[in-house]
Amino acid sequence: MRVALDTNVLAYAEGVNGTDRKQTTLRLFERLPQDAVVVPVQALGELYNVLVRKAGKSPVHAQSAILNWQDAFATAETSARSLVAAMDLAAHHRLTIWDAVILAVAAEARCRLLLSEDMQDGFTWNGITVANPYALPENPLLAAMLQA
């Protein structure tokens, strides 16, 4: 099973929401099979913006963080097909276009889960389910993946 990471999960791993959330996220990453994790390039672009604008990091620091994430996990780019799917998601499921792009790219990359705190927990589309990795009880698909 493959899992994609949303921007907020990456930002938490960078310490944007405090040390408790950072430690929780890093523990989660230690439990995920590294070869099963995909990061949409859209999420990396958003992370750069969050690190510079919200967290007050220098552009050089943000660039280094993005390059480290690219080294740590496989990435998935936005295709014309995923953009069309994202527009459909945004139009019919009330997602922002940027969240929809991340979800569509993750689906195109054959991910089964998208870990996100921002999107609707449990929302399923085109074979991919959004799971809030911080919610209790833990999403059954995420729990199964972490136990494997």
From first CA to last CA, the distance across the chain in angstroms is: 10
Residue among 120, 127, 121, 136 nearest 106 (CA) = 127
Model confidence, pTM: 0.95
The hierarchical CATH code for the domain 3-147 is 3.40.50.1010
* Model confidence at 113: pLDDT above 90: yes
pLDDT tens-digit profile of 52-104? 999 999 999 999 999 999 999 999 999 999 999 999 999 999 899 999 999 99
pLDDT tens-digit profile of 36-63? 999 999 999 999 999 999 999 999 999 9
